[in-house]
Structure 1
């Protein structure tokens, strides 16, 4: 059920130019919570919401997501005089562990690309994730009009429609663009199902995950995005450039890819280890001289 107040709240999000995805997620979450409460949200008490949150048997990240959506609704309701007190005041936001990147190894990426050659859309989805850093939802929103070919015909630039309605421009390398270009006979979205409709992010996730599982790889499309970021770091790209390429709102998110970058520090760590060997030789010589 969708109450009048939820509809008004969504209208307010549209006025603030929130993305259709954000609005859809807000609606879905508010409807789920209202159904659990068994009453309109504006009639819920603090005790009702605490009991609802306490009864949740889902992951901490999902609890945090639900809590963020419900808090945003009640902030809006309070601001517009629909309630007198914010009933979410005693809700707890779980402390989440920082997720470390899990990039797909180069050998497994090669296997994924080789076995995806039979389906050019699938092949290009892997390329855009692994070599351009696009999220699954961003890939499904790629349209022919978003692509601007380089003046010399080598490579292109792509307007990426990111999370929260934020856009960024990323580079498509010449070799990657040569493959993506084969999809550009279409006038609309590049990634479509057999009925001509654009893939949803969930559907593309299912297709790519099923392919990876079928060839024995325990990865998702998002791990190819992780690979893109860590490889940029390997090549010495400035962290701000990596942030811009990934579309991260906060630099702290991007630095996770630098923290997990083991190859970049290998030489220094090995050099430090050789220092221990020299130290051990000196200690051994000193012991022999004492005997």
Structure 2
């Protein structure tokens, strides 16, 4: 079970871009849960049913944890089980009948339009790797992709003439997302020059390749983003998911309707997309204070 927890920590770091403090907190919560299961003779995560989880919550209560702390633990475990189902490690979620109190909504970090430009300008488009990195970031920001969706894009998924990208999202749901002229230009340069140089005599169906024509890993792209953010002089933490958040926020700030953004992001539920309206509300308040004559 600890191996599954470690894999989940990697997922939160790379896919979700959580801070080191958040990762530590999730790790502590998961360790507490797994240790409780082991102490009660449960060695396989598949054997932890709803009754076992309720017993764990009673255990936390007896330890003196507040309702807020118990809610935090439940949120940590809920994310863990959601990950396990997505990875097909388990088939049923024992948390589905356990209510989790809502204790506030985390607003994702986003870059300003200027910061995105700095990040993209940090790529050296005169080299094969630089062309690849620029194309990856342009498409991720241009289409709001998840990092897993980006690294598994195939050449056949991109129609540069039409300016469209075909994405296979969560739950094997396909969606078509438009990209702009900058993303098309970067992808075209990579396809015509950098990718051919990188492949040499090899062949690959994947759009973005690393060594031996294999697709780029999520971990490698996360390192690329961090490196370019450092070169660009961006002090705040930046991850692949930051570009996805920035894509959605900038669209809504520019006047895009929520349903369109939901479709482009591939959110099954519009309530997931609504978090970006809170970010945009802060933006509108800032703009009002900055430009209204009666501040």
How does the TM-score come out when normalised to structure 1?
0.64
Cα distance, 1:168 vs structure 2: 0.8
Question: In structure 2, which of residues 112, 117, 136 is the aligned counterpart of residue 125 of structure 1?
Answer: 136
Query: Are the aligned partners of 2:122 and 2:231 in contact in 1 as well (CA < 8 Å)?
Result: no
Show CA shifts across 1:242-285 (max 9, x none).
Answer: 111111112122222122114445565678772x8xxxxxxxxx
Q: 1:63 aligns with which of 66, 71, 77?
A: 77
Offset, 1:175: 2.8
Deviation string for 1:49-72 (max 9, x for gaps)?
456676899976432223456899
Per mean C-alpha deviation after superposition, the further-off stretch among 133-142 and 100-109 is 100-109
Q: Structure 1: 5+ residue runs without aligned partners?
A: 2-20, 22-28, 78-85, 277-291
Partner of 2:263: 244
> How far apart are 1:142 and its partner, in Å?
1.1
CA contact (8 A) 2:165 2:178 kept: yes
Would the alpha carbon gap of residues 256 and 240 (structure 1) be closer, same or farther in structure 2, given more than 3 Å must change? same
Deviations 1:37-57 (A, max 9, x none): 554556657675456676899
Equivalent residue, structure 1, for 2:155:
144
Where relative contact order (Cα < 8 A, 6+ residues apart) is larger, the structure is 2
Q: How many residues align?
A: 234
Q: How far 1:130 moved relative to its partner?
A: 2.0
Contact in 1 for aligned 2:136/2:150 (Cα 8 Å):
yes
1:192 corresponds to 2:209: yes
Residues 234/48 of structure 1: CA separation in 2 closer, same or farther (3 Å cut) = closer
Q: For the structure 1 residues 183 and 94, does the alpha-carbon distance in structure 2 shift closer, same or farther, using more than 3 Å as the test?
A: farther
3-state secondary structure, aligned to 2:166: strand
Unaligned runs of 5+ in 2: 2-14, 16-29, 61-68, 197-202
Q: How do 1:90-129 residues align onto structure 2 when only pairs under 5 Å count? A: 93=100, 95=102, 97-118=104-125, 119-129=130-140
Q: Does 1:211 align with 2:228?
A: yes
User: Out of 219, 222, 225, which is 2:241 matched to?
Assistant: 222
**1:171 aligned residue:** 178
**Could you tell me how far apart the structure 2 residues matched to 1:112 and 1:144 are?**
24
For residues 96 and 179 of structure 2, what CA distance do their matches in structure 1 show?
47
Larger Rg: 1
Output the CA distance in 2 between the equivalents of 1:132 and 1:172: 6
Secondary structure of 1:198's aligned partner: coil
Length-normalised TM-score, structure 2? 0.63
What SS does structure 1 have at the residue aligned with 2:261? helix
The 8 Å contact of residues 204 and 213 in structure 2, kept in 1 or not, is answered as no
